Amino acid sequence: MDRKLKLSQWIGFIILAFLILVPVLYSLGGALFCNNHLSENLKSFDSNTIKLLLNSILLAISVAFLSSFAGSILGFLLYKTDFAYRQFFKIIFLIPLFISPYIWAVAWKDFFFTLTGPTPEMQSYGDLILVQTLIYTPLAMLITGSAFAHINASLEEAGLMVFPIKKVFFKIILPLIKPALLAAFTLIFIFSISEFSVPAFYGLKVFTTEIFTQFSAFYNYNLAILQSTILVLICLLLILSEQKYLSQAPFLSVSNRGNQIKLYALKTYRFSAYAFLIFWLTISILIPFGSLTIEAFQDGYQTIFKAFELLKSTIAESFILAVTGSLISIFTGVLFAYLSWSKRTDRTSSISKLIHWTLLITFAIPSLIFGISLIKFYNRSGLYFIYGSALIIIIGYMGKYGFIAYKMIENAIRQLPYELDEVAQTEGLPRFKRLQKIIIPLITPAIFGAFILNFMLMFGDLGTSIIIYPPGTQLMPVKVFTLMANAPQSLTAALTFIVFCVTLCIISLFYIIFKKFLKPTYDCR
């Protein structure tokens, strides 16, 4: 590899690290070394704190396991079978990701109240697991679905010639989507363990509520940052184990026919498949979203118009910022995932690893702490052009969600055979031409999936945005949240309904663009 390329990679990493990691390290350094309260704060890690932490880990494992399981079933049904209306369901099942988990929690509580009356209330850990599982299952569906879509059809066909479909599924398909399954588990675990709003709303005590209390009630930033560090360390350990496990697994699955997806006929399983999809549709979307819609329309269209009037000024700005953030994440993700994947042919992996850990740390740290770290670092003369502009939001988005794009794209690239790149290299094709002409066309669905997911998360982000948004900026989720505090229930529901409709329109538009302009290129290969 030429020096110029290596240098530009290091420059790329340094810029990324400066933008998102240095602020976190700066805060952490302040909490650890620049005060005399460290020993006092360390004393507060008593048995109660450990119990709370274990509690949160157990909850996150349960949510991640259940979501990955349900998500992979949905992914298989919608990406690998001849199920009717697959495209429709693919979009519909993403709805829980459109809306803030907090609103979803409110909707579920309302529904249970309507169903059972004042008692029993929704405030047990089981309820928390249920709600979070329903919220994060689409994430697993998207990740595993993208992997199912990438499986080399010839491998499956060869398997089917010798073995029954059940055996092919367990011996060929499942091992091939293992990286995606583990990626989904890891991402959902991290989302769940760092989630604050749902447990706080149900009045349940978890580690993040403890961090929030130290931060907001006691203004003990140093302890809050130290506690956040523990969360980050747990996530790092999980990722390390995942990587160690995956490093021993073979992932070659896409060949020159890899872009042709083999679809299985459901045959006798059709009824069970329909039953499962309708069941999932009911519990994850119809019930909570139905409750919200009924409330939104209880005064006719008037409340809906009022909600739209309140939100219309925020739509364009939120859209531009989320698209910009998603594109940057995808750009970075493709670039560095490719460099990481090509480690067998050169020695670029050290930079890629650094990028991986950089993105992971900022993803795993709670939004509130990340936001405050950004403020402390960027609010200074010389950097005010970032802090005082929408760039701070882009950096916030990149830090919080860049890892997801990277992970999804890396997962897709991992399934490509190295020979593709090696042959092109032997033919003298430069690195970025190989990326552009061979790799990107093969992983277009994964790139699109990562873009959609990043867009949805950024478009709906509240945790980081509410802390860092520049004065005068209007972001849709922030405005909904600040309005709903004192708004009547019907207006809150109407605001959520508008958010849902806007997001659905945008996502549908992206799907149309993908189908019309991107998919043909990908299919023709």
Partner 1 sequence: MKNIIIGLIAFLLINACQKNGPEIVVYTSVDQVFSEPILKDFEKESGIKVKAVYDTEETKSTGVLNRLIAEQNHPQADVFWSGDPIRTVVLKQKGLTRPYFSPKAKTIPEIFKDPDGHWTGFSARARVLIYNKKNFKNLPVPQSIFDLTQAIYKGKFGIANPLFGTTTFHMAALFSVLGDQKAKALLQAFKQNQVVIAASNGDIKKRVLNGALACGLTDTDDAFEAQKESNAIGLVFLDQKGNPPLGTLIMPNTVCLIKNSPQPKNGQKLIDYLLRKSTEKKLAESCAQMPLHKDVTIPKKIPSLDAIVPMSINYIQVALKLKTIQKYLKKWIEN
Q: Which residues bind to partner 1, rule: CB under 8 A? A: 113, 118, 121, 200-203, 205, 212-213, 215-219, 320-321, 323-324, 327-328, 330-331, 368, 372, 375-376, 379-381, 384-385, 387-391, 394, 466-467, 469-472, 478-479, 481-489
CA distances from 114 to 107, 121, 288 (A): 11, 11, 12
Residue number, 36 or 381, with CB nearest to partner 1: 381
Give per-residue burial for 178-217: e unless 16+ CB within 10 Å, then b.
bbbbbbbbbbbbbbbbbbbbbbbbbebbbbbbbbbebbee
Alpha-carbon dihedral sign for residues 113, 119, 125, 126: negative
Shortest distance, CB of residue 46 to partner 1, whole angstroms?
13
Residue number, 114 or 350, with CB nearest to partner 1: 114
Amino acid at 466: I
Shortest distance, CB of residue 525 to partner 1, whole angstroms?
19
Amino acid at 86: R
Residue number, 120 or 126, with CB nearest to partner 1: 120
Shortest distance, CB of residue 15 to partner 1, whole angstroms?
13
Amino acid at 450: A
Shortest distance, CB of residue 467 to partner 1, whole angstroms?
6
Q: Which of 449, 224, 177 is nearest to 329 (CA)?
A: 449
DSSP class per residue in 248-296:
TS------TTTTS---B--GGGHHHHHHHHHHHHIIIIIHHHHHHHHHH
Residue number, 86 or 205, with CB nearest to partner 1: 205
Residue number, 215 or 280, with CB nearest to partner 1: 215
Q: Is 161 exposed, middle or buried (0-12, 13-18, 19+ CB in 10 A)?
A: exposed
Residue number, 79 or 451, with CB nearest to partner 1: 451
Say how far apart CA 73 and CA 250 lie, in whole Å.
22
Shortest distance, CB of residue 328 to partner 1, whole angstroms?
6
Shortest distance, CB of residue 456 to partner 1, whole angstroms?
18
Give per-residue burial for 27-65: e unless 16+ CB within 10 Å, then b.
bbeebeeeeeeeeebeeeeeeeeeebbeebbebbbbbbe
Shortest distance, CB of residue 372 to partner 1, whole angstroms?
5
CA distances from 496 to 309, 483, 502 (A): 13, 11, 10
Task: Quote helix, strand, coil % in the chain, to nearest 5.
Answer: 80, 0, 20
Q: Give the CB-side neighbour count of residue 386, counting CA atoms within 13 A.
A: 18
Residue number, 273 or 375, with CB nearest to partner 1: 375
Kindly state the tokens that stand for 43.
């004393």
Element (DSSP H or E) covering residue 300:
none
Residue number, 271 or 517, with CB nearest to partner 1: 517
List helix spans (H) across 81-152.
Answer: 86-92, 95-98, 101-116, 125-148
Residue number, 162 or 217, with CB nearest to partner 1: 217
Residue number, 240 or 383, with CB nearest to partner 1: 383
Residue number, 70 or 368, with CB nearest to partner 1: 368
Residue number, 108 or 201, with CB nearest to partner 1: 201
Amino acid at 127: D
Say how far apart CA 443 and CA 410 lie, in whole Å.
10
Neighbours of 382 (CB within 10 A): 7
Say how far apart CA 283 and CA 26 lie, in whole Å.
44
Say how far apart CA 10 and CA 4 lie, in whole Å.
10
Say how far apart CA 280 and CA 72 lie, in whole Å.
13
Q: Which of 361, 366, 55 is nearest to 208 (CA)?
A: 366
Residue number, 42 or 84, with CB nearest to partner 1: 42
